Chains A and B, each alone.
Chain A
Amino acid sequence: MKPRQKRFLYIVIAIAAVGIAVGLVLNALKDNVSLYFTPTQVYNKEAPEGRSFRIGGLVEEGSIKREADGLTVNFVITDLHKTLPVVYKGILPDLFKEGKGVVVQGKMEAGGLMRADEVLAKHDENYMPPEAADALKKAETAAAAANSSSAASPSSGTPGAQ
């Protein structure tokens, strides 16, 4: 083997070795690398107890309730399987809306309520003008209406609109 072929081989082996090592480490630290837990994970007791952690999901439709002080907000996070009630006192990001993504940091209290210290909005990777978004929404509700009238089950529409 020529020296340069040898050097090429060394480099390939080095990248493969480092890649596998990093892959194994990241796989072992999976729960620590992920930014948040889902409500299902909390339900399955996979989330840490007694310390602050993050939870992510969608804000359930119709679940936002503001208290009289104007600052405290109650809402429910859902991953479409399990739900988790949250209470937060503070200023919410602009993108915080029902049916939209949210990541909340806080501690679990007795009774399965999360008291949040921080609420972050999570938006999706789709970008479109408002008219297109409206048209999409209309088409979706029309399809849902057609669905529910034919199947006679009002819950078979878009997820999250329970």
Chain B
Amino acid sequence: MAINWFKYSAPTTFYGLAGKLIPWFAIPAAILFAVGLYIGFAVAPMDAQQGEFYRIIFIHVPASMLSMFLYMVMAGYAALGLIFNTRLSSMMASAVAPTGALFAFISLWTGALWGKPMWGAWWVWDARMTSELILLFLYLGFIALHASIDDPRRADRASALLAIVGSVNVPIIYFSVKWWNTLHQGSTIKFSGTSMHIAMQQAMFTMLAACWLYAIAVTLARVRSIILERERHTKWIAELAEVRS
């Protein structure tokens, strides 16, 4: 039996579907966060070079990866919204943005906390850090631009353009440590494999999965609020059980 995917591209049906899906992402996210932190702090051994300090990697790397992935997801939804003129895609783009900005901020913040004891500086203007900071500004710019235009459909189009153009920055972040001399070390997780002890890997990938699930759950919750807000004048919203009561 084929599922009619286009049915779920309508906010009317997606609202209910998202509500049903949220616990399926939120609960595993909470469990995996607990497991990941336990492995990270209790099971994974200390590092030969950095002692216990390296453990911030278990939040730093997932947050950084998510900040980049979520930007591509946001730009993808924004592009879909522009091309197909679908309302839900643009709503999803707006829903992803704050979570992406949060992860970009966590990435920079934990990076500074890690940089001070290890490198000897909170911040250095190297290519990796500067491009990640630009990513945070792109997220904030997207949110601000969207908020500054009253008509939501026009706001969608203007901010979609910003998101799409800004996506050029993501490969720059990823390859910055390869293309230029940076203080930031190269990638630990490469396409060819991972240069990390196995228990450390388990902790990091568990945290990565937890961050993904959290991001999906929060985005779904946020898109439900956006749907409610934008479609508040429609009949189907007025007939919703949670609205009527």
Contacts and interface: CB of A to CB of B under 8 A. Distances in A.
B6 interface: no
Max count, chain A CB within 10 A of own CB: residue among B49, B50, B118, B195: B49
B126 A35 contact: yes
Interface residues of B, number: 40
Given A26-B172, A35-B127, A120-B124, A103 B83 contact: no
B47 interface: yes
A56 B197 CA distance: 27
A128 B181 contact: no
Interface in A1-56: 4, 7-8, 11, 14-15, 18-19, 22, 26, 30, 33-38, 56
B57 A127 contact: yes
A96 B120 CA distance: 10
B180 A34 contact: yes
A120 B85 contact: no
User: Is chain A's binding surface mostly helix, strand, loop or mixed?
Assistant: mixed
Nearest to A122: B183
A124 B118 contact: no
Given A15-B167, A33-B180, A133-B48, A128 B127 contact: no
Contacts, number: 118
Contact of B83 (A8, A18, A36, A126): A8
Interface string B170-194: 0010000001111101111000000
Contacts of B121: 118, 120
B168 A94 contact: no
B83 A129 contact: no
Interface in B98-140: 117-121, 124-127
Contact of B183 (A8, A120, A129, A134): A120
A22 B119 contact: no
Contact of A35 (B57, B83, B167, B183): B183
B185 A124 contact: yes
B54 A127 contact: yes
A47 to B, nearest CB: 12
Contacts of A118: 120-121
B50 to A, nearest CB: 7
A31 to B, nearest CB: 9
A150 B54 CA distance: 39
B206 to A, nearest CB: 16
A70 interface: no
A123 interface: yes
Interface of A: 4, 7-8, 11, 14-15, 18-19, 22, 26, 30, 33-38, 56, 92-96, 100, 103, 118-134
Given A19-B168, A125-B186, A127-B188, 8 more contacts: A11-B83, A33-B127, A34-B181, A103-B124, A122-B183, A125-B195, A126-B188, A127-B47
